[in-house]
Amino acid sequence: MTAQPDEKPLVLFLTDRGEFHQQSALQDAPPQIEVVIRRRPALDELRSLLPRVQFIVSERSEVVSAELIAAAPALRGIVRLGSLLVGIDEAAARARGIPISMQPVVGTIYVAEHCLMMTLAALKHLARSLWQANSVEHGKTALRGDENTFSFNWLGLTDIGGLYQKAVGILGMGEIGVEYARRVRAFAPAAVYYHKRQRYPVEIENALGITFAERDALLAQSDVLLSLLPYAPELDLSLDAAAFARLKSGAVVVHAGSGSIIDERALIASLRSGQLSGAALDTYEYEPLPPDHPLVAYARDQRSNLLLTPHTAAASLPSGRADDYAEIVRLLNGEALRFRA
């Protein structure tokens, strides 16, 4: 069965995300198309749909294989929501003249920027510096500055760090991790290690300047740990005391993955002991954070070097997902793709 002229174009939306995100994508679909969402489907689950499918949206790294493309005779376009074409058979699509769009996801870019900001803030003890500069409790005479008169580091701080030649480890290397890796590379780290269930092809590793490592090896080599892990039962509170102990002494932890990945009490204990020199979190086991939460109490101490942001890494973006379909609308209107791969 092929698409009929009076039918709405059918969009097959492939994703690995949960029900909340699926419903958001469905409710924001434009009225001129029909959308069917499937989460990590096997090809056999799709066979009855594929003869009618005119467009495929692949979120993150969902596979669009040559076999899938061959089973969709009406296919007119493929949209990858993300910045890598991993899992999409480009040769099979191009052989059929099917255009591919690689559409950036602005939310992942914002989160990557936020994570980079928090990384630098933790390494440089920014919260303490701001507090001490604002409190002006130094007891020293202020002199007007010129080229020979200044008071460099007037508090005598000796633990201000940086990213240069530090080893960075990324757990949960999806789209956010990819965007972070692109940005952190400009700071000339010693290495950027990553771990994910399926390793990226070597050409992508080389392009991003990243090195695959098993989880424990990554922890042992990291001066900075970026946690972007999604929630799964086997990962519940998996960044615990044992994980923090494997990190280099004085490491920094930045977390913007799912909230219940971090054992927050173990994190505080590792900060108190000095095993960690700093941490920055944007997501939490319980949200919003209760005012009497131990994280809040500890972060209020300006010596703690614990930075908390209220789950705002991707804030101020449009709340809906209508833009997921922007490239399909362009194709339907006979317009050129904006992000043609």
Q: How many CB atoms lie within 10 A of CB 252?
A: 27
User: Element (H or E) spanning 91, and its range?
Assistant: helix 90-95
Same domain, 126 and 65: no
Same domain, 204 and 275: yes
The domain total for the chain is 2
The domain that contains 22 carries what CATH number?
Answer: 3.40.50.720
Read off the pTM.
0.90
228 part of a folded domain: yes
Query: 262 - beta bridge partners?
Result: 239
Angle between helices 126-135 and 106-123 (to 10 degrees): 60
2 part of a folded domain: no
25 part of a folded domain: yes
- Mean pLDDT score, 132-154: 87
For the residues of 39-77, what is the DSSP string, one character each?
A: ES--HHHHTTTGGGEEEEEEETT--B-HHHHHT-TT--E
Same domain, 87 and 128: no
Alpha carbons within 13 angstroms on the beta-carbon side of residue 158 total 0
- 174-223 per-position pLDDT tens digit: 999 999 999 999 999 999 999 999 999 999 999 999 999 999 999 999 99
- Mean pLDDT score, 244-270: 97
Alpha carbons within 13 angstroms on the beta-carbon side of residue 204 total 18
Mean pLDDT across the chain, nearest whole number?
94
List the single range of 9-18, 148-157, 185-194, 303-312 with lowest mean pLDDT. Answer: 148-157
Same domain, 129 and 179: yes
Query: 281 - beta bridge partners?
Result: 255, 308
Q: Taking the mean position of all CA atoms in its chain, how far away is CA 79? A: 19
Backbone angles phi, psi at 246, to 5 degrees: -75, -20
Same domain, 92 and 202: no
Q: Which domain holds residue 18?
A: 10-103+320-332
Instruction: For residue 179, give the 3-state DSSP assignment.
Output: helix
